[in-house]
Structures are given as structure tokens and as C-alpha cells.
Structure 1
């Protein structure tokens, strides 16, 4: 809108195609600006990030490590998606939501005794000339008039406890010949400047993921806050169920209700909200959210609030829209609840990671067997582990942290094939999904999708449910909805 207005009125600074044109003189923007430099206090995660950089330095002595934040991505023409840095960059800098600057690059430069850390970033555009002297009003993508104030380099250094330098110096900084590992695919300039070393770069990705498996005290506090806000969002939704039934696209109302909480309490969503009513609940990642919410149907809500530090919750509840489960709905719900309870009971330090999944699936298999639901026939030779994938589809949980599916670059032997440790945070979320056109199940079950998901911290003695502020069993869910209406 504003860009078009500028083009029509001949105001310099845009080229009519979403780009910028040089503005050789500041004209009406010259002079008269107050000094607004500040000295921000260190961000709460900065000291913890310094410890993580020290671990990274110890792992790769004598090698340069380059971790870009990533850049802006175009949504449509001259509008970008909201920026979120790469999770490894966040983990190593302690950067937070509203301050994150696109195209920043963290460089750990080897020295005789370890590494020095330098954050190459876009500084605040000065208003008194210099190489960035007109950016503040002429650059619609990065200029302060357009997208808000950036920190000065000194302010960035004070906030993060890292030496900060202008991104313009990145090319020179990477020119010195030294073994270099890069988090690739996030910054085209970096990828072009440093020849790819596939094995070395892959090893870096693995380490950056695995270093996030066990959360430190600060991360655990952030995840508690994320889950608390997520729980609040579910309470918000419970109070809006009846309103949603009166709207043509009631799923969108549910989505918006939760999303408002995410923006109020944190940076936003940890992932796109799944607000799936009726048979939409059988689509594991239903994010269209364009359907009605009808009394008598179930609503599956899978959602998470992302804090300003970018840590996210991830919780799922299934709500009977009319306030009570039907007999068929409760039958499925109770089986999934029993499966989740078995999975939760298997959470303990030292246990193989897969134990909670196997425990939950054993309950589901026994329950479906008792219902006579054998999709390949009673005498099928299909291995029992695969027999019910038609109705369960996916695993029973995942690590949780900066990413909803956290630590995805870790090696199998340290994650899926590893053991639970104190400080792991993960979800337990078994589900049953009976597709509306599945002739292998009784008609009364078709179109029912149930998933119950909670977030857990592995402790020295067992597991703590971080999302215990929401009811789990069917009776408690009905009582909760009655109170919320």
C-alpha cells in the first residue's frame, strides 16, 4: 500500500517493484534528529549462550565455525514473512524475538586458546551520512522508518555479550584460510565464500542439534513459560467453543482465539495451529482451518505458544463441542487416554527413548484387537508393529525446545536410539485416526480422530508434566468445558 503511494507521488526510495533506488541526498530527512543511543541490559539468555559457545569451541578446536541467522523470505511481491532466526543461531547467541536482525552471522574464529566470537549484523542506520546514511528512510525492507529501529553495534554487543561488527566486513573476515565449518543453506553470501565440506558441515549440524537435547536451567524455565502460555490459550478456546458453532468457518475462530494468546504472551506461534473439527481431526497436520465447528462433533486442537526467546510449547486436546462425548467418541478417547498414560509411565531417566512409544502402542494394539479391528484380516502375516499404522500413522512423541520437533539433525544413536536423560523435554501424544471413508472400521467410528498430547521434563527421578494445567481424562474434560461455557 505505502509503496504504491510513494510510486504514484514520485517519492524517491522505491523502484515500483518492491526494491529500493539510491537516494543520493537525504533532502527533508537531513538534520534535526535527537541522540537516541541506549545501553540495553544483557538479555537473560546471553550468559547461557556464552557457555554453549564454549562447548562448541572445545568440540572444534582450530576450526572456524560459521552459523548464520538466515534472512527474510518473500511472502508476496514486496512483503516478507515475519523473521525468525535459525534455531542454532538462537541457541548460540541468546537473541530474542523483536530484536532479531535478518542476515546476521555468528563467526567463531579460532585462536591459540580457543575461539573469539563475532556477530556480523546490520547496524542501525545512522542519520548523519556514511555508507548506510539514507537507509533509515530509503530502504523499505530494512530501513528504520519502514520496519522499526535496529540496535547499534554497541547496543547489540551489550545485549548479547558478543563483539558485534558490520555485516559489510563478513567477506574480509572469512577470507583468511583456515578450516571452516558452515551451517549451510541459510546465507547465500556465506555459502558462496566458503567452499562446501560436506562431511565437516554435516558433523557441525549434528553437533548443533545434539547440543540442544539436554536443556539447561534457563531453557527449562523458557519452556515452562511457553507451556504455561499454551495452556492459557487452550482455556481461552474452551470459552469460545459455543461462539465458534455460530460461524461458517468456526475453525478459524478457534485458530484466531489461540493465536491471539500466542502474540499477547510471546513472540507468536511455535507452529501453525491445528484446529480440526469433525473428520478434519483425521488429517494429522490439518492447518487449513476453514471448516465449521458443529455441536456433537469433536474439535482437535494442536497448538503451541512460542516465547520471546523462541522456545515453544506443543499440546493437543480433543474437545467435545457440545460439552459431552458420545458413546463412540468416548470409547476411542478412553483408549487413547489409556495409551498415553502407559507412555507417560514409561518416562524415566535411563530408559530407552523408544520405550514410551512401545508402551503406548501396546495398549492401542490390545484395545483394537479387543474391538476386532484388524485392517489386514485376523490371519494377516503383517508384523504386529505395522498392523495398526493405518489407524495410528505416526510416532508417539518427539523432543521439544526451540523447534517443535527439536534436535532433528541429531544422529539416530543419540536421539531415537538413545536413552532419556534429566533435562530432556519431550511430548507424549498417541493418537487414533479413523478416516471417514475407511470401510475397515464400524460406521460409528469413521471420522473420529483423537490425539492427546502433553509436554514432559525428564527429571532425576521420573518425569514432570509441564502441561498439567489442562485436564486429560474424558470426565475431567467435560467438567472443564462445563465450567468454561
Structure 2
């Protein structure tokens, strides 16, 4: 039993401490099945990704932690989610493995050998089996053995206790890079080894940052397995949106209708996936003008619009990110339809420019120009259209302050550490997956617009895959036009 377990249980535990109890707890258990698990579907893809990383850092030891468990309240932890770089390079999703570390050990030929250090299943004759609330099989269920993990991933698996020695080996000769802030204990091990061998701390941190950046950039173009997982997450998310539409009548009758909607979608996320990809935005009425409204404490009232921004994270940890703005009573008012159609036109304009070779920033430019044109036609801009669109103007951004697109994958805002020239300034390539999500948000207190606009917030967001000659809208199964949305509500609600 480790120190954490002692701290968490000593003040309330009534577990017997007698040797008789320990002997009895360690006996008469059926043997483990001994069945060797099959190779994970993602293992080959993860190996190819590691090879791409290896090519950039010949002769250096690379350390990618999964991260530790995080305390939620006293002696309870949040559900574990590994660091995205760790998940990408191992193929492990869901709850594998708290405290684990992937190490890429350099070879003389310039390549690397991969080893996974983690805490394997303890034997049923050990005290840890029944006494460790964080690691014991009695408490948290079956855990893999070293042999299990080697079979699944096709790489060497070693006990986590061996990691400090392996991480610091020859630190004065072999360069070491670590994904920083993923796991404080791994950082401490590396820092200690560097200090002992006189490694320049500032230079080492610069090298660490370069590793983190490269691992983020590695995910800009998805391989076929990643695309397949994103398709699964989108399909589950579509089902969750239909669940919400079915739940709208009940939400209209509840004091916290937004919470009912949030819970409805969460049920689908847990049923078909691992969790939510991010906190659901279930914003009804004027709450839809608050860009990151995740409190979801409001009512859902007849005649209002519901802005639902939600995504299912599947077991591999890939997530969708979709938004639809839905009339809760089944039909749009004339004013709601007017604003919605403007946002849809902006989205369509953004889709129209997507193809290989186009710069990522051009998607946003196309969308906001159409929004500005509508705002100008409605008489809302305080200056001319061209002045508003100029770098010195940007008046239209009062009502559309966010970007139109972001990359999508293991993180809902994927690849965020990538260099600017590989993100905003990059040319689109087949395999890139990102969102298109223009919106217009007229707050209740916005005196710069006529009263009929106030309280209307609309966003339409789809997940887009760049193909060899254009794009595929991965979320096309959800309706986008006002007529189609209304027909969809009628169909789903029966």
C-alpha cells in the first residue's frame, strides 16, 4: 500500500490488520485466465506515429507521460484521461494508465525503441490487491499485466518503479526531452537527472517545448484510424442531438430545462463513448449569446432557440464538436429565421473555399465577410462595409468575436501548440479535420442593435474532413437549413 492510500484511508478504515486476515485475503482465489489479449487496432498506427517523432530527435531520449490521477474531492479522483500526446503515441484511450510513461530510447542507428512504464496488476497474494483504493484489483477491477500490455501494444512494458533509473541514465551524455506539466513526478525525475549531470536548465526547457510543439503538429493531418474514430464520435453525437430533440417537451416543463438537455446528451456520451469531449453548452434564449455558457441552469421557454454545442468522446478519446441552433417549439420565428439564414450563408461560404492548397485562415475570412455583408444590409454597422472589414475596423466582430475554425481530434481544440505557420497560415492538406462554426450573438443588453435582434444567439458548427479534391462534411447527417431543422424536429418527435 502506498502513502496516498494510507493518507486516504487511515482516518476511517476499519480493515483488520491481523496476519490471519492477510493470509486469508491472499488465498483461495481462482487463477487469472492467462489468455493473452489481441493486438490493439491502433497499435500499428501508433508505431508509425512514433516513427515520425523519432525521425526528428535522433540520439535523444523522449519521455511522454500519461499523467497522474487528479483528486476531485478528498479521497475521490476524477475519471482518468491520459495526456493526448501519450494517447496518440500509444493508442491507449479510456482510463489507461494513471502514472504511466512512454519512453522512446535512442538506438545507435538513429531510431528509437519504445517502452511503456506503468504500474501492473498486483498479485492476489499481495496486500495491494485488497488494500490499495487506487491500484488494487479488489477496488478498481482487473488491471493489465506487463505481458498483457506488451501483447496489446507490441512494445516493451516495464514496471513503473524502473522509470526513474531509465529516465536519468547517462543524462550528461544522452539528451532528454520530456512533455512538461503532464506529470509533476515525471518532471521531477527528469529535472533531478539533469541537475545531477549539470545540464543547462534553460536550454533543456527550450528542448522540452520543441518536443511538445512537434507532438501537437504531428496531429494536424489525421491517419485513417483517426478519421475512423472521428466518424464514430460524430455518429454518436448525432444520436445525442436526436435524444435532445425528443427531450425538448420535457425540458419545457422543467425549471432547469437546460440541465435536462445537458443530462440527456451526457447519457448518450456515456452509452456510446467514454465521456463528453468537453462541457456541453445547452444555452436557451439569451444564454445562447454567452459563448461558453456551461452552467446550463436556465429554463427552456416556448418560442426560444436552443443553442446546443456538444460532442461525444469515444473510447479512443477522439471527439466530435457540433453545434445546432434549434427552435424549441418546433418552428423559427421570422426574425430567428432571418438571423439563422445569415449564419448558414456564412457557413456555406466557408465550406466553398475548403480544398487542398487553400490557407486555413481563408476559411474564417470567407465566413466573416458574409456575416459583415448581412450586418451591413440590416443597417447595423456604424461604418461602411469595407471599413468594417479592414484591419483598422473589424466592427462586425462585435457580433462574431470567435474564430470560424479550429482543428479537431484527441482534443476538441486539437494541435493548439502547433506553430502559427503550420496552423493559421498553413495550406490545407487531405486528412486535416476541423470545424466550421460561424455565429451571430445579439445580447439582451446590446443597444447597438434594434430590439428585435436582442437575445438571439445562433451558431451552426460542422466537422469537416479535407479530401484529395475538396471536403467531406462528417456531420452532414444533422440538418442545417431552417426548413430541414423544422422537418427534423417533427420527424424525431413523431
* TM-score, scaled to structure 1: 0.93
Contact 1:65–1:181 (CA under 8 A) maintained in structure 2: yes
Give the alignment partner of residue 105 of structure 2, picking from 103, 109, 114.
Answer: 109
Q: Which residue does 1:331 correspond to in 2? A: 338
How far is the alpha carbon of 1:96 from its aligned partner?
A: 2.5
Give the alignment partner of residue 413 of structure 1, picking from 410, 417, 421.
Answer: 421
Q: Which residue does 2:10 correspond to in 1? A: 15
Aligned ranges 1:20-99 → 2 under 5 Å: 26-36=22-32, 37-98=34-95
How far is the alpha carbon of 1:384 from its aligned partner?
A: 6.1
Give the alignment partner of residue 465 of structure 1, picking from 460, 465, 473.
Answer: 473
- CA–CA separation in structure 2 for the residues paired with 1:277 and 1:38: 51
* CA deviations over 1:423-463 (Å, ceiling 9, x no partner): 00010000101111111111111111000000110000100
- CA–CA separation in structure 1 for the residues paired with 2:8 and 2:307: 48
Confirm or deny that 1:265 pairs with 2:279: no
SS at match of 1:215: coil
How far is the alpha carbon of 1:12 from its aligned partner?
A: 12
- What residue ranges of structure 1 are gaps of 5+ in the alignment? 1-6
- CA–CA separation in structure 2 for the residues paired with 1:475 and 1:217: 35
Contact 2:81–2:93 (CA under 8 A) maintained in structure 1: no
- CA–CA separation in structure 1 for the residues paired with 2:458 and 2:143: 45
Contact 2:357–2:428 (CA under 8 A) maintained in structure 1: yes
* CA deviations over 1:6-65 (Å, ceiling 9, x no partner): x9xxx99921279x9999772431211111133111111011101111111111000000
Give the alignment partner of residue 198 of structure 1, picking from 180, 199, 205.
Answer: 205
Confirm or deny that 1:171 pairs with 2:164: yes
Confirm or deny that 1:210 pairs with 2:223: no
Q: Which residue does 1:229 correspond to in 2? A: 236
- CA–CA separation in structure 1 for the residues paired with 2:26 and 2:472: 58
SS at match of 1:275: strand
Contact 1:17–1:78 (CA under 8 A) maintained in structure 2: no
Contact 2:372–2:385 (CA under 8 A) maintained in structure 1: no
* CA deviations over 1:130-182 (Å, ceiling 9, x no partner): xxx21121111222222221101110111111211110001111121210000
- CA–CA separation in structure 1 for the residues paired with 2:301 and 2:39: 49
How far is the alpha carbon of 1:285 from its aligned partner?
A: 0.9
1:222/1:21 CA distance change after superposition, 3 Å: farther
SS at match of 1:316: strand
How far is the alpha carbon of 1:398 from its aligned partner?
A: 0.5
SS at match of 2:349: helix
SS at match of 1:260: helix
1:101/1:21 CA distance change after superposition, 3 Å: farther
Contact 1:23–1:138 (CA under 8 A) maintained in structure 2: no
Contact 2:376–2:384 (CA under 8 A) maintained in structure 1: no
Using the TM superposition, name which of 192-201 and 158-167 deviates more.
192-201
Confirm or deny that 1:286 pairs with 2:293: yes
- CA–CA separation in structure 1 for the residues paired with 2:271 and 2:469: 35
* TM-score, scaled to structure 2: 0.91
Q: Which residue does 2:176 correspond to in 1? A: 180
How far is the alpha carbon of 1:75 from its aligned partner?
A: 0.9
Contact 1:124–1:150 (CA under 8 A) maintained in structure 2: yes
Contact 1:336–1:430 (CA under 8 A) maintained in structure 2: yes
- CA–CA separation in structure 1 for the residues paired with 2:320 and 2:93: 16
SS at match of 1:450: strand
- CA–CA separation in structure 1 for the residues paired with 2:178 and 2:425: 27
- CA–CA separation in structure 1 for the residues paired with 2:115 and 2:148: 14
Contact 1:422–1:459 (CA under 8 A) maintained in structure 2: yes
Aligned ranges 1:371-386 → 2 under 5 Å: 371-374=378-381, 383=391, 386=394
SS at match of 2:463: strand
Q: Which residue does 2:447 correspond to in 1? A: 439
How far is the alpha carbon of 1:377 from its aligned partner?
A: 9.0
Q: Which residue does 2:195 correspond to in 1? A: none
How far is the alpha carbon of 1:348 from its aligned partner?
A: 0.5
Question: What root-mean-square deviation, in Å, do the aligned CA atoms of Structure 1 and Structure 2 show?
Answer: 2.2
Aligned ranges 1:126-141 → 2 under 5 Å: 126-128=123-125, 133-141=126-134
Give the alignment partner of residue 252 of structure 2, picking from 230, 245, 253.
Answer: 245
Confirm or deny that 1:155 pairs with 2:148: yes
Contact 1:13–1:22 (CA under 8 A) maintained in structure 2: no
